[in-house]
Structure 1
Amino acid sequence: MSHYLAIAAVRGIRSREPTVSAASILDLFDGLVELGVLAGPDAEVDGIRRADLENIEARFPASLVQKLWRVGEQSPYARQLGLIIGSRVNLRAMGMISNVTRFADTLSEVIVISARHAAVMSEVENIRSVAQASGVKIVYEITPPEYRLDNAIDRSMAAGVSWARHLTGRPLMPLATTFRHTVTDQAPYRAIFGDAVSFGQAEDAILVAHEDLTLPVISSNPYVKAVLASRLAEQSNGLMRRTTLEGEVRRIIGNALQDPLLSSDYVANQLNMSRQTLHRKLRKESCTYQSLLLAVRKEKAHHYLKNGVSKMDELSALLGFSEPSAFFKAFRSWYDTTPGKFEGRGS
């Protein structure tokens, strides 16, 4: 039984609650200790102390991360907490992904490894790369939406830049960086990401130049990389086996709702199976691609309305509808009311 499953059995954690690697939580824990937000390594959050996090292959519920962020948000560092913690390179809290990328050949390979195995770090975080004319755009997503916190996104993106600089030994600067959230003080962001940073955008993303992608990793070691990559693949495959197909399809849909290419073919390709196989396996779990698409849209509509997004065109775009009228019709079928009236119900 894994460490996470042991905790689940003792503390009644739902077996399908998404999990996060102990290493990722350890880095956050250490950052809070360094800032004086936590009293020290023996401080407890939800009954967990630093010593409980030292097995880097252990897993804990994502709700523990939420609780740590909430503790941090009560501190004087609340608004910059994610940037501060993400900018550190904490060699005492390296998980399997960090250990493998230390021995990669180039920065491009680092990005590929990180995106492919992102779930090993956190099942609520997704990293994907999109080819651009000037380089590669790295998109960071946290789903389900209730797990997305501005500090969590700030930490992941700052860590991506800081780790790239550490691995290459070069003062790299993104071509452009975009954030979905807005801030009143942009200076701390510009110090990390450069002047080409903007807020209130459609996605959280970093654009890396083609020439930077070819930079060598200074600690590259093909043999050590191969040994560690084998173990990383085992962990990644183990997570896949513990996740129902329905859960995986929901995750993929949630991450790609705004992608015009989203379809059952798209999802099947992400899962390395044919569309026919996807439909057959979903039927065995008593669901369909279309029912899951509607369910994800319904859940996200509820979340966005509860968090102040109320414009019809914005909601329609966020949920991947071709036009606001299609969203309005779907919403009435889900809740038997309009988005405006639903917002006022406090549902």
Structure 2
Amino acid sequence: MEDHRLRIATAILAYAVQKDTDAAVLCNLSGIDFAAVEQNRQPAITPARLNELWTHASHLSHDLLFGLHLGESLQLAALGIVGEIIKTSSTVGEGITQAAAMAHLFTDLFSVSVEHHTGTFSIQFNPLTEGDNFSFRQTMDMFMAFVVHEMDGLVLEKIKPVAVNLPYAIKDGDLREYERVFRCRPVTRANTWAIQLPAAYWNKPIVTAQYELQQALLQKVTGAALPDVNPQSLQARIYRYLLSNAYLGLASLEDIAANFNVSTRSLQRKLKEEGVSFQQLAEQARKSLALHYIDSGNYQFKEISYMLGYNELSAFTRAFKRWTGTTPASYQKQGFTVRKHEQVLN
């Protein structure tokens, strides 16, 4: 199961860097060869090293809910096999059934089963080892949050579980954050790890184009940068977060602050110290995404408007004209003319 541990470790490192943690220090503390990570040489990730990585990542980022927040921010493409399941399933039920049967291919920590009830069905996470330590709980939080949030993109709506069962107590100060991420108040000290959902979701068609959109955005964000801005600055990290998660709609200030484990006031203050506001970053992200979507030629203006969070096409058109001095239609026509001219020259 080395592959799955490496995928999880890579996700932990990437997210820790996003939360202003030094990856080299984190690897060194966890006994992981940082040079191998940098050079994509697939360093050996033992269970003990993964446990250390969870512990130190949480400590250095000052986030005891690190796994929960990581699961919220992950994309389908990040865990490999999940994307393959999605691409070969037509409904949510088919996807979940396949995922349950293939869970052993991407984790040795738990198996997945599905139970049907009157009016609901539940996704059960069944531990395969005695998992009462910190890293096991972080891992389970990550996978459960990942399932809830990634289903959003598959059916193009906010998934709201009927219940989420967790077999441990949650501190009063953390309960609200679990409720925000899971979108329901979790049942603590339960007998199982489980997500219970309305039966209506079972036959919902999966919008496979969303997986392709995630891949395109992840490729885009890899090279995305704000001009003349330190790539490790808070504004740069938030900008990349906005882009990479934009397939579900642009994240709000409140959601980003909670995911980065700071208050909205503190986040706004830190951005102000860097000479920028969240609203400016959101506008820049919308502009970048709008140009990307139009240049791809795969989306109608109405779809782009919806994906960027505009309720009316006219509102998107006004914003686009403010950004570029022209309308989306004129911009697209100009781009088509340029591409056609380049083809003739070649």
Report the TM-score when normalising by structure 1. Answer: 0.52
Q: Which residue of structure 1 aligns with residue 141 of structure 2?
A: 154
Deviation at 1:179, TM superposition (A): 0.7
Amino acid at match of 2:175: Q
Q: Distance in 2 between matches of 1:125 and 1:51?
A: 28
Q: Distance in 2 between matches of 1:165 and 1:157?
A: 13
Amino acid at match of 2:152: R
Q: Return the match for 1:209 from 191, 198, 203.
A: 198
Q: Deviations over 1:123-175 (max 9, x none)?
A: 12222111211221111133311475322221111011011112222101101
Q: Distance in 2 between matches of 1:42 and 1:219?
A: 36
Amino acid at match of 2:151: A
Q: Contact 1:33–1:40 (CA<8 Å) still a contact in 2?
A: no
Deviation at 1:177, TM superposition (A): 0.8
Q: Contact 1:118–1:127 (CA<8 Å) still a contact in 2?
A: yes
Q: Which residue of structure 2 aligns with residue 197 of structure 1?
A: 186
Task: Please give the residue correspondences for 1:292-331 in structure 2 after superposition, counting only pairs within 5 Å.
Answer: none
CA gap 1:156/1:91 in 2 versus in 1, 3 angstroms? closer
Deviation at 1:47, TM superposition (A): 2.5
Q: Contact 1:26–1:93 (CA<8 Å) still a contact in 2?
A: no
Q: Which residue of structure 1 aligns with residue 288 of structure 2?
A: none
Q: Deviations over 1:277-335 (max 9, x none)?
A: xxxxxxxxxxxxxxxxxxxxxxxxxxxxxxxxxxxxxxxxxxxxxxxxxxxxxxxxxxx
CA gap 1:189/1:50 in 2 versus in 1, 3 angstroms? farther
Deviation at 1:211, TM superposition (A): 0.6
Q: Contact 1:182–1:199 (CA<8 Å) still a contact in 2?
A: yes
Q: Distance in 2 between matches of 1:58 and 1:215?
A: 40
Q: Return the match for 2:119 from 134, 140, 162.
A: 134
Q: Which residue of structure 1 aligns with residue 81 of structure 2?
A: 96
Q: Which residue of structure 2 aligns with residue 182 of structure 1?
A: 169
Answer yes or no: is 1:22 the counterpart of 2:11.
no
Structure with the higher helix share, 1 or 2? 2
Count of residues in correspondence between the two structures: 205
Q: Distance in 2 between matches of 1:164 and 1:56?
A: 32
CA gap 1:91/1:180 in 2 versus in 1, 3 angstroms? closer
CA gap 1:39/1:83 in 2 versus in 1, 3 angstroms? same
Q: Distance in 1 between matches of 2:53 and 2:31?
A: 9
Q: Distance in 2 between matches of 1:119 and 1:40?
A: 31
Report the TM-score when normalising by structure 2. Answer: 0.52
Secondary structure of residue in 1 paired with 2:204 = coil
Q: Return the match for 1:218 from 195, 204, 207.
A: 207
Amino acid at match of 2:16: L
> Share of identical aligned residues, percent?
15
Amino acid at match of 1:22: L
Q: Distance in 2 between matches of 1:53 and 1:144?
A: 32
Q: Which consecutive unaligned segments of at least 5 residues does structure 1 have?
A: 5-18, 222-347
Deviation at 1:103, TM superposition (A): 4.4
Q: Distance in 1 between matches of 2:176 and 2:185?
A: 12
Secondary structure of residue in 1 paired with 2:112 = strand
Secondary structure of residue in 1 paired with 2:64 = helix
Q: RMSD of the TM alignment (CA)?
A: 3.2
CA gap 1:47/1:151 in 2 versus in 1, 3 angstroms? closer
Deviation at 1:54, TM superposition (A): 9.1
Q: Which residue of structure 1 aligns with residue 229 of structure 2?
A: none
